């Protein structure tokens, strides 16, 4: 009897683990290929593009969309949610034009949806008509990952100049890691000290990096402000800051 109880407990733990994994679709999986077909119109004297769409899984099968100011909101007809993408709508005034799209946020089932790809425009009725009627084909990849990288400043080293009007050097070491460990994290490190402004760019993959700033310090400037923006492949960002005393 005791052995039976132990085995049953193990089985129940296994069931809980499976349920937990299944409750976060896509979070632990690889990016998925998707295709969207958009039928659209630019109504005369209007500041918007609008239309309907069909899509492949894991997106909803169909729905409507509305685009303004480079942002496009897709509303699923099955009421499963919405997702928002960035896309240059002026491309839809030229048949054959193409450009990048990026899913930046969502709601409902698509709250954690992120994605990127390329959209191509076709004008089956010609370009010089009113209203402008077009269809787009978007292809790319998506994932359910809305978590930004984890990051922290790990070390700061200040090197004073030997001469009064010499240059200061500040080394800032930081760690960066995406929630998907193999993903590269891109960063932009900005520094300001009085009139001095500098930017450094690079990438980190589950490790550390060092950025260095070399500058002349104005008499009344006592701090170097450092801000590092880190972004994963889906556009999720994290910012870390450090105020470095110059002494």
CATH architecture assignment, domain 150-245? Sandwich (2.60)
pLDDT at 2 (0 to 100): 37
Residue in 98, 110, 99, 171 with CA at minimum distance from that of residue 142: 110
| Average pLDDT, integer, range 123-149 | 86
| Contact between residue 27 and residue 145 where contact means Cβ atoms under 8 Å apart | yes
- Cβ atoms within 10 Å of 208's Cβ, excluding its own: 13
pLDDT exceeds cutoff 70 at 20? no
pLDDT at 127 (0 to 100): 59
| Average pLDDT, integer, range 34-63 | 95
pLDDT at 164 (0 to 100): 79
pLDDT exceeds cutoff 60 at 240? yes
Handedness of CA 53, 56, 62, 63 (dihedral sign): negative
Select the more confidently predicted residue: 206 or 70: 70
| Contact between residue 150 and residue 238 where contact means Cβ atoms under 8 Å apart | yes
The confidence band for 128, taking pLDDT boundaries of 50, 70 and 90, is: low
CA atoms within 13 A on the CB side of 112: 13
pLDDT at 95 (0 to 100): 86
The confidence band for 9, taking pLDDT boundaries of 50, 70 and 90, is: very low
| Average pLDDT, integer, range 101-108 | 97
pLDDT exceeds cutoff 50 at 198? yes
> How far apart are alpha carbons 76 and 60 in whole angstroms?
6
pLDDT at 242 (0 to 100): 97
The confidence band for 87, taking pLDDT boundaries of 50, 70 and 90, is: very high
Q: For a pLDDT cut of 70, what percent of the chain falls above it?
A: 86
Which residue ranges make up each domain of the chain?
31-144, 150-245
CA-angle at 108, arms to 104 and 112, nearest 5° = 40
């Amino acid at each position: 009897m005791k052995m039976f109880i132990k085995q049953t407990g193990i089985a129940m733990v296994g069931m809980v683990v499976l349920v937990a994994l299944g409750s976060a679709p896509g979070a632990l999986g690889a990016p998925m290929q998707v295709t969207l077909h958009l039928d659209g119109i630019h109504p005369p004297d209007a500041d918007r593009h609008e239309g309907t769409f069909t899509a492949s899984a894991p997106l909803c099968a169909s729905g409507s969309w509305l685009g303004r100011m480079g942002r496009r909101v897709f509303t699923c007809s099955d009421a499963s949610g919405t997702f928002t993408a960035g896309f240059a709508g002026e491309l839809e005034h030229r048949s054959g034009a193409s450009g990048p799209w990026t899913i930046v946020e969502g709601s409902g089932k698509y709250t954690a949806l992120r994605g990127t790809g390329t959209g191509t425009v076709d004008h089956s009725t010609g370009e010089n008509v009113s209203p402008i009627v077009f269809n787009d084909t978007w292809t790319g990849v998506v994932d359910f990952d809305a978590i930004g990288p984890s990051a922290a400043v790990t070390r700061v080293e200040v090197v004073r100049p030997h001469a009064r009007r010499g240059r200061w050097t500040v080394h800032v070491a930081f760690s960066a890691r995406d929630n998907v460990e193999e993903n590269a994290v891109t960063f932009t490190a900005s520094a300001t000290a009085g009139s001095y402004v500098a930017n450094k760019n690079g990438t980190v993959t589950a490790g550390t990096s060092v950025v260095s700033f070399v500058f002349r310090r104005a008499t009344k400037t006592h701090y170097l402000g450092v801000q590092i923006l880190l972004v994963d492949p889906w556009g999720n960002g994290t910012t870390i800051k450090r105020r470095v005393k110059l002494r």
